[in-house]
Amino acid sequence: QVQPVESGGAFVQAGGSLRLSCKIFGLTFDDYGLGWYRQAPEKEREGVSCINWNGASTKYDDSVKGRFTISRDNAEKTLYLQMNSLQPEDTAMYYCTYFFGPCSTERLQRPPQTHWGQGTQVTVSS
């Protein structure tokens, strides 16, 4: 069974940094694109960033461009999200998942119908 497992979330002050990690068990890791999504209380899940199977193509939501960096290590079967200059509006539960096809703006706008993990909580105080 495919199981994403996210880690690295924490409580930080505005302006701080975090690095999230994700392992997806039960998946042929480098066959898929990967993405980070987040969901704040009483809001819909939204796309943050995605990366194609070999890391050559990435996309970011406008709200995180220039602050967040997505990367993947296929040898370690791990996805990362480096988050810098964190702001209170970044507070959310962060999830990783996988998908067929390209990493695209549409993929960020439409979360894939795949397996989701428990997420990792990021809380940014002002």
pLDDT tens by residue, 17-30: 999 999 999 989 88
Q: Are strands 11-13 and 120-125 parallel, antiparallel or unpaired?
A: parallel
Q: What is the pLDDT of residue 69?
A: 98
Q: What is the pLDDT of residue 67?
A: 98
Sign of CA dihedral 66, 17, 83, 126: negative
CA atoms within 13 A on the CB side of 118: 6
Q: What is the pLDDT of residue 59?
A: 98
The CA radius of gyration of the chain, in Å to the nearest whole number, is 13
For residues 83 and 104, the answer to whether their CB atoms sit within 8 Å is no
Q: What is the pLDDT of residue 120?
A: 98
Sign of CA dihedral 116, 78, 18, 86: negative
Q: What is the pLDDT of residue 1?
A: 86
Mean pLDDT of 105-126: 93
Mean pLDDT of 91-102: 95
Q: What is the pLDDT of residue 113?
A: 87
Residue 91 backbone dihedrals phi, psi, to 5 degrees: -60, 125
pLDDT in tens, 57-81: 999 999 999 999 999 999 999 999 9
Mean pLDDT of 47-54: 96
